[in-house]
């Protein structure tokens, strides 16, 4: 009796192990699946950094967590754009402002508490700019002299100019108005503690200047 030849059918498993294609570089491993789709794992790995880059890591900052944070920058989960930068020797409160995401220092922990730093961050984020332009303290002061000081008595004019030009202008002249925090100003006036009268006067003039700077007619449109 003659035997007829028959075909032997071999089925592929649903999904095999990684096939590195011996004829190609091993940089591009491929996985062979039952639907004949070739998935490049290399492409999947390249997408991971992009996904991580688009997300800003956050954590719920508390008095307990702040003390135990590792080195790096950590943003608060409850107050957007507010966080702390942990360095080798100190911890600095920061806030990110504007479309440029400019980083502004608020103060150092623990001299500035979490509660105070968060309040200051919210104030800075809600602060009104002097105008639509990027105005520095020095530029604002020049306008202040002609718009406000010039209408005061001669003695008052000299007094205001002396206070600002002696105590504030040297440090803040090139600093943008929206980047000046209350802690920056306190650091200046605290240095006058040995002369209480001068300190009190400097604080008064400082308050007048910044109240003038955020008057409604100076708000950006």
Q: What is the tens place of the pLDDT at every residue in 109-141?
A: 999 999 999 988 887 776 544 444 578 899 889
Query: 111 and 146: one domain?
Result: no
Q: What is the CATH number of the domain that holds 93?
A: 3.30.160.390
- Within its chain, how far is the Cα of 221 from the centroid? 24
Q: How many domains are there within the chain?
A: 2
Could you give the strand order of the β-sheet that contains 30-33, starting from the edge strand earlier in sequence? 15-19, 30-33, 38-40
pLDDT of 96: 84
Domain that holds residue 80: 54-125
- What backbone phi and psi angles, to 5 degrees, belong to 110? -100, 5
The pair of three-digit structure tokens given for residue 165, joined into one six-digit string? 């030009």
8: in domain: no
The Cα-based distances of 116 to 8, 41, 80, 149 in angstroms read: 79, 48, 16, 33
Residue 43: which pLDDT band, with cuts at 50, 70 and 90? very low
Its pTM stands at 0.45
């Amino acid at each position: 009796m003659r035997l007829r030849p028959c075909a032997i059918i071999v089925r592929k498993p649903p999904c095999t192990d990684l096939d590195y294609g011996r004829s190609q570089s091993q940089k591009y491993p491929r996985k062979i699946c039952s639907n004949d789709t070739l998935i490049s794992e290399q492409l999947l790995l390249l997408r991971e950094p992009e996904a991580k880059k688009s997300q800003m890591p956050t954590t719920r900052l508390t008095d307990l967590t702040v003390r135990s944070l590792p080195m790096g920058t950590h943003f608060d989960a409850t107050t957007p754009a507010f966080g702390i930068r942990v360095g080798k020797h100190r911890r600095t409160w920061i806030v990110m402002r504007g479309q440029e995401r400019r980083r502004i220092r608020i103060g150092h922990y623990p001299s500035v508490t979490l509660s105070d730093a968060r309040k200051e961050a919210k104030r800075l984020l809600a602060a009104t700019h002097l105008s639509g332009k990027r105005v520095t303290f020095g530029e604002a002061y020049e306008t202040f002299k002609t718009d406000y000081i010039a209408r005061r008595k001669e003695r008052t004019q000299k007094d205001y100019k002396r206070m600002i030009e002696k105590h504030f202008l040297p440090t803040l002249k090139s600093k943008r108005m929206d980047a000046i925090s209350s802690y920056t100003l306190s650091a200046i006036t605290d240095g006058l503690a040995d002369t209480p009268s001068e300190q009190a006067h400097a604080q008064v003039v400082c308050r007048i200047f910044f109240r003038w700077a955020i008057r409604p007619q100076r708000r950006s449109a």
